[in-house]
């Protein structure tokens, strides 16, 4: 499928600075695909030949650790996906999988490269984004390794609430097993902590729907053990 990128309502803020010819190039050289929950968008181990732009939906970035899968983070549209894995290595070093229905644009690396070269501002924006991601990775890793389960679970819930759904009530798009991979624990521990939070009146669970009742407590747990 082909479409006019300049008029695309899902454009990234970075793309606002693109020149006319770049838009034409983009329009002519991309593919829009729809994904359902669970569908693989980028697969670790495959050749990486496309930059991916997530127009709508949610996706998880995850990779095979030495013993089990690790979910690096959950991202929401609009965002580029797979820049590191496309430019950093010929072979994808991580996977991206839809966790809700999603629409994705595939852009040829060469085309993306050209656009980078011809648009300073865009290129700068991308550099800044990459830098920010790396900083975030550092913090994430430090938290994950140093905090214990309750703290990390609190972080995850707060992130869903504040960064992804912008609401204190939301439906977790992950199973407890996936949450475990995100928080670096076992499935059982996720279950235990979740019911514990519920009993303590910090959250309220109705199936996959979660309401954060006492955000203050949750933040305290995130900070301390």
Partner DNA sequence: ATTATTTTGTGATTTGCGTCACATTGTTTA
Partner DNA sequence: TAAACAATGTGACGCAAATCACAAAATAAT
Tell me, residue by residue from 178 to 197, as one string, x for binding to DNA by CB under 7 A and - for no binding: ------xxxxxx-xx-xx--
**Residue 191 burial by Cβ neighbours in a 10 Å radius (0-12, 13-18, 19+):** middle
Query: In the range 202-221, which residues lie near DNA by CB under 7 A?
Result: 205, 207-208
Query: In the range 116-135, which residues lie near its own copies by CB under 8 A?
Result: 116-117, 120, 123-124, 126-128, 130-135
Is 175 an interacting residue with respect to DNA (CB under 7 A)? Answer: yes
The CB-of-58 to its own copies minimum distance in angstroms stands at 19
DSSP label of 47: B
Residue (137 or 169) nearer to its own copies, CB: 137
Stretch that binds DNA, among 1-9, 107-115, 134-142, 145-153 (CB under 7 A): 145-153
**From 22, 50, 86, 189, residue interacting with its own copies (rule: CB under 8 A):** 86
Is 83 an interacting residue with respect to its own copies (CB under 8 A)? Answer: yes
Tokens of 128: 């800044």
**From 42, 75, 149, 182, residue interacting with DNA (rule: CB under 7 A):** 149
Which long-range contacts does 11-20 make (Cβ < 8 Å, 24+ apart)? 11/78, 12/53, 12/78, 12/79, 12/80, 13/125, 14/121, 14/122, 14/125, 14/126, 14/129, 15/122, 17/119, 17/121, 17/122, 17/125, 18/115, 18/119, 18/122, 19/118, 19/119
- Residue whose structure tokens are 């966790």: 99
Residues that bind its own copies (CB under 8 A): 63-68, 70, 72, 83-89, 93-94, 113, 116-117, 120, 123-124, 126-128, 130-135, 137-147, 151, 184, 223
């Amino acid at each position: 499928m082909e479409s006019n990128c300049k008029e695309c309502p899902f454009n990234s803020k970075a793309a606002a600075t693109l020149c006319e010819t770049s838009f034409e190039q983009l329009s002519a050289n991309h593919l829009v695909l729809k994904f359902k929950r669970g569908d693989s968008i980028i697969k670790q181990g495959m050749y990486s030949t496309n930059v991916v732009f997530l127009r709508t939906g949610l996706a998880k970035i995850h990779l095979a650790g030495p013993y089990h899968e690790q979910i690096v983070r959950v991202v929401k549209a609009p965002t580029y996906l797979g820049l590191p894995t496309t430019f950093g290595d010929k072979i994808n070093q991580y996977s991206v999988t839809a966790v809700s229905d999603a629409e994705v644009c595939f852009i040829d690396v060469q085309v993306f490269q050209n656009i980078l070269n011809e648009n300073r501002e865009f290129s700068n924006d991308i550099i800044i984004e990459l830098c920010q991601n790396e900083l975030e990775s550092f913090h994430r890793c430090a938290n994950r390794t140093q905090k214990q389960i309750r703290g990390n679970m609190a972080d995850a819930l707060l992130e869903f609430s504040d960064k992804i759904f912008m609401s204190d009530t939301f439906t977790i798009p992950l199973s407890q097993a996936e949450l475990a991979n995100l928080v670096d624990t076992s499935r059982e521990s996720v279950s235990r902590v979740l019911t514990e939070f519920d009993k303590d009146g910090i959250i309220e669970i109705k199936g996959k729907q979660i309401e954060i009742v006492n955000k203050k407590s949750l933040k305290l747990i995130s900070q301390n053990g």
